[in-house]
Amino acid sequence: MRPRVLGAVVDAETRCIHYATPLDVVALRFHCCGEFYPCHRCHAEAADHPDEQWPAGTGHERAVLCGPCGHVLSIAEYARAMACPSCAAPFNPGCKLHWELYFSTALRGQWEE
C-alpha cells in the first residue's frame, strides 16, 4: 500500500506548492513523526511539532517515497540514486543541497558511495 503524503501536495507524484518541477517527485518520511511530506516547508506548515533529522546510523531506514511508482527507498539507497531503482524516474539533483534539513550530515557521505 502506498503511504499517505501530508502537506501541500499538488499532484499524485508528490509535488507540492513549494517544489513542483518535473524532477520533484519524492516525499520524505520525517524522523520526528514518521509521516511523509513532500518537503521541509510542507512539514513546517502542517505539523504541530518541529522537524528532526534522521540521525547517523539510520541509513537503512525506508524514508524516501518515489512519487511516480510508490517505491520506498532507504536513506542509503536514496543517497546513491539519481533515479528511482524501481521505475527509473529521475530525482532532482538539487535536493542534495537540502540534505541537512532531513538527514544527519554524517549520512551525507553516502552520496559519494
Which one, of 34, 66, 65, lies nearest residue 52 by Cα? 34
Give residue 85's pLDDT. 97
C-alpha count within 13 angstroms, C-beta hemisphere, residue 102: 29
Which residue did the predictor score with more confidence, 51 or 107? 51
User: Could you read off the pLDDT of 30-71 as tens digits, one per residue?
Assistant: 999 999 999 999 999 999 999 999 999 999 999 999 999 999
Full-model pTM = 0.92
pLDDT tens digits along 13-25: 999 999 999 999 9
- The candidate with the shortest Cα–Cα distance to 58, out of 113, 9, 105, 3, is 105
